[in-house]
Structure 1
């Protein structure tokens, strides 16, 4: 707790954190409002909703590494200001769209406006904080993000009822203006230019990304398991509602399950520093990804063997699921900050984010196809087993490399 409180004594950190909270709230409220309006106001069919979701996420998948390279080269504070301004403009565009087509165009532009915050935040964390402080801020921001995940959709629903949905975009536009003020505060500390010796790349250097991965076994290990978690999540996440429905659980049960994952992640964030003090990051990450995958296997086995699943049992499983998934992502975030060179943080973080998004886009397609032919329960078991197999393979490979390294050092000693 003392380490977390001490973060606020770092110049510029309070502005950075408040800006991050504002961005997170705005993104979740925007997401809720966008798909509420498309569904209930414009009455868009499922294919149209799928197209809108793809347009919203496509900029991050395709353009993320380019924005990341820009964050490495330019001032991260300036990137955040530009991103916030674009989000303000797009909020106003969504609020005053004349028809469905224009609204969907603004949805695409909103997705583009969200691009700048993530790489800029990664660069700022490295500039503002020490390695010890990075662990504390990863845990703190995870707690805040999960609280936002729970509360912001409720806020979006409230706007939908009170202000006929569109008024809520005025609220997120106001949050964007406030986040611009926070970015200006951060700029007062880190300056308006790039760091000394910063990257001069104009475009994403994917050869650099490969070199960073090959030269840092610790980061390569963390990256592999983080992508494994995204693959597993993509395979089963879209069919959770089907599992609940097939076992006779009410519509509200899905929201309860989502809240349990968030509570699990919050619990992990609270104890993360103590866990890392007892086990190295590689061991912790392996346990987290293994536990996450194991919870998915357990859900499938229980659904396959029991005639009906109780909501309480599923809540316990998804508390473990959220605890382990959240822990895995936090440890990956710490490895990213510690192992990646400062002048490559933007392009590496966004390139990895693109890979994660690809897994989350392709995974549901594969998962739903498997479920159609072999059943939802078997799909859960297969998804979790894939994660467990990747963890086992990664640990075996890491152990072999360590043995080889010890053998090469032995004769010299």
Structure 2
């Protein structure tokens, strides 16, 4: 339905919308660099903000606990709407606008006098990410040839995991030498550069193809359909696709289990190894390293089976979490690093497969909506799961909670592998029949 054309006519993209190599697809490489800068910046000042709130302002634990909640609420309220806008509006302009507003909000955070000002600013900044992600994923689906989608998902996952490790690590170094404010300024600069990298793509235009849909020319349909109608079609498309529906539900169940203990590793280590405060850092670094290793391996493959990727990822994560639940004060730190690697391997395997599946099984006209809805549901889990996990730890204690949650996650992973033919193999509904919209044609030159 929608065709992207580019006036500069880059030589790396052939007339059928594909390039010989992903590395010579200059549209994707610009998006990739911008995404890397934005992701690195987000993780770079995460530690600085926590230090500023906890140590410089002396905020109580409730205020600290509200930080992830405030950052998740925009996704719950606006995730699916952001997906609709990504499918309706110019995607590059959405991303650039989000980068500019993020810069302004980050500078405002720098001058926030108290937590009462900081929390709303963090929520607004998180809102920009809610609008940015569906636009970025939808544009990726259009500018990347289908044969390169898995590699593109692997590269994005690689950057995300590296940023989780390198961002806080370098942020901690800057924090030790300078101050939290310097980290926040660096984040603002990375976002500014991210927008500048996207600037040459502003000439990408979207034109409606004169194909019919429900007896109405797509050009007329595209201009007359309301935001609410397209929002409904997004939900209806997911409901009609067994692969997408199974994936999102499977992902939410597993994510619920994982996030119940995601913020409780410090609680566990405080109980079993109270004198080793650096252990949480070793765990985080080993998990990040595991994710990077598996993503580098996956990047050499053309694709991966959905059941093995999603189910296998949860199996490894569950095994690592359960094993940490059996760690005692006499256990060597070496095993904590090993179980962290196991969790990281599972996390990288799951996230790459998830993003690839959502891209591959969704027509370009619906990518923004699918990722927006998935982000909205994940945000709900992000708020509910930590509260449930904290309550469970209060009742049974940290170690048993990790054992129970780890075993539950492992069982979910095994179920995904065993039932993969039921969950992810089957004929998909025809797009025109199930949604009333035709699939977009590949990217081509004007």
Pairwise TM-score range, normalised by the shorter structure: 0.7 to 0.9
Do the aligned residues in 2 keep the contact of 1:221 with 1:394 (CA within 8 Å)? no
Do the aligned residues in 2 keep the contact of 1:4 with 1:137 (CA within 8 Å)? no
In the alignment of these two chains, the number of paired residues is 397
Question: What is the deviation of 1:323?
Answer: 0.5
Aligned counterpart for 1:27 among listed residues 38, 42, 49:
42
Partner of 2:395: 373
Which structure ranks higher in relative contact order (CA pairs < 8 Å, sequence separation ≥ 6)?
Answer: 2
Distance 1:21 1:404 in 2: 35
Question: What is the deviation of 1:307?
Answer: 5.8
- Calculate the TM-score normalised by the size of structure 1: 0.87
Does the C-alpha gap of structure 1 residues 388 and 275 become closer, same or farther in structure 2, counting only changes over 3 Å? Answer: farther
Does the C-alpha gap of structure 1 residues 317 and 257 become closer, same or farther in structure 2, counting only changes over 3 Å? Answer: same
Partner of 2:140: 125
Structure 1 residue 220 corresponds to structure 2 residue 245: yes
Structure 1 residue 240 corresponds to structure 2 residue 265: yes
Question: What is the deviation of 1:322?
Answer: 0.8
Aligned counterpart for 2:284 among listed residues 231, 236, 258:
258
Question: What is the deviation of 1:397?
Answer: 5.3
Does the C-alpha gap of structure 1 residues 159 and 103 become closer, same or farther in structure 2, counting only changes over 3 Å? Answer: farther
Distance 1:263 1:389 in 2: 25
Distance 2:317 2:226 in 1: 37
Do the aligned residues in 1 keep the contact of 2:310 with 2:416 (CA within 8 Å)? no
Partner of 1:348: 370
Instruction: Flag the structure with higher helix content.
Output: 1
Partner of 2:381: 359
Question: What is the deviation of 1:349?
Answer: 0.7
Aligned-CA RMSD value: 2.8
Distance 1:158 1:214 in 2: 47
Aligned counterpart for 2:76 among listed residues 48, 61, 74:
61
Question: What is the deviation of 1:53?
Answer: 3.1
Distance 1:269 1:285 in 2: 14
Partner of 1:411: none
Distance 1:287 1:98 in 2: 46
Q: Which runs of 5+ in 2 are unaligned?
A: 1-17, 210-217, 428-446
- Calculate the TM-score normalised by the size of structure 2: 0.81
Does the C-alpha gap of structure 1 residues 361 and 403 become closer, same or farther in structure 2, counting only changes over 3 Å? Answer: closer
Partner of 1:408: none
Structure 1 residue 36 corresponds to structure 2 residue 51: yes
Question: What is the deviation of 1:165?
Answer: 2.1
Q: Which runs of 5+ in 1 are unaligned?
A: 406-413
Question: What is the deviation of 1:206?
Answer: 5.5
**CA displacement, residues 202-227 of structure 1 (integer Å, 9 cap, x when unaligned):** 24856434433343333333323322
Residue correspondence of structure 1 range 148-167 to structure 2 within 5 A? 148-167=163-182
Does the C-alpha gap of structure 1 residues 344 and 106 become closer, same or farther in structure 2, counting only changes over 3 Å? Answer: same
